[in-house]
């Protein structure tokens, strides 16, 4: 399915570019503060100091603005994810659970850091195909970074499908704990290090059960 592109165009003149950026920043701030997209362009104008006329000169309307803001934030999250995961694992020769724990800690760190802005975007994604697809792309970046860490463990071939399944299960647990999506579930009295420990133990036990020799090994 071909998804519609945003209709905004980033201006080239410095003053117009500044207003463009202020508008996006104001929309992101409102989304994060309110936890939903229940605001108007008048609210964005008041928050940014950019006139309604100037906003409409750059965006087709609120939906277009939110889509642009979402794309910007997903780009930021992807860049942070790539940066945080790139040096991992710090000790690939360690046991698998230790390697998984490093990847799990970074997954939790990213989702906790951006939970307040991800929450309204995930709610909106249920009725917005563009945001849903861009969010899925960002999820895939995080999943790929998680898998790359585990694949550096030299103890054997873990299986990509199995790693992906484990990531999705862990992501769901973390997301529910953070109240991301349409439902929120608590995790008892566990703190985040305990949650990471338990998830790392579960993932490593599951993967070790099916570990194979690395491809190409005699």
Predicted confidence (pLDDT) per residue in 93-108, tens digit = 999 999 999 999 999 9
| Residue range of the domain that includes 103 | 69-209
Instruction: Give the model's pLDDT for residue 181.
Output: 78
Q: How far apart are CA 147 and CA 163, in angstroms?
A: 6
> At 212, phi and psi to the nearest 5?
-125, 165
Shared domain for 127 and 169, answered yes or no, is yes
Shared domain for 38 and 88, answered yes or no, is no
Predicted confidence (pLDDT) per residue in 58-73, tens digit = 999 999 999 999 999 9
The answer to the question of residue 4 being in a domain is: no
pTM, 2 dp: 0.89
Continuous segment of H or E residues that includes residue 148: helix 129-151
């Amino acid at each position: 399915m071909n998804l519609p592109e945003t209709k905004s165009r980033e201006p080239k003149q410095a003053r117009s570019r500044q207003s463009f950026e202020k508008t996006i920043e104001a929309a992101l701030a409102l989304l994060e503060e309110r936890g939903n997209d229940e605001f108007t362009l008048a609210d964005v104008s008041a928050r940014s100091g950019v006139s309604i006329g100037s906003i409409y000169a750059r965006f087709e309307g609120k939906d277009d603005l939110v889509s642009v803001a979402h794309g910007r934030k997903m780009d930021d999250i992807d860049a942070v994810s790539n940066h945080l995961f790139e040096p991992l694992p710090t000790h690939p020769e360690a046991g698998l659970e230790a390697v998984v724990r490093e990847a799990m800690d970074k997954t939790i760190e990213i989702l906790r850091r951006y939970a307040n802005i991800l929450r309204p975007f995930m709610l909106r994604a249920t009725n917005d195909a563009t945001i849903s697809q861009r969010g899925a792309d960002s999820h895939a970046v995080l999943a790929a970074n998680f898998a790359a860490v585990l694949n550096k463990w030299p103890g054997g071939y873990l299986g990509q499908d199995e790693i992906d399944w484990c990531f999705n299960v862990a992501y769901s647990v973390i997301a529910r704990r953070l109240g991301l999506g349409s439902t929120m579930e608590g995790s008892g009295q566990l703190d985040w290090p305990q949650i990471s420990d338990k998830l790392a133990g579960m993932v490593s036990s599951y993967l070790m059960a099916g570990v194979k020799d690395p491809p190409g090994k005699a």
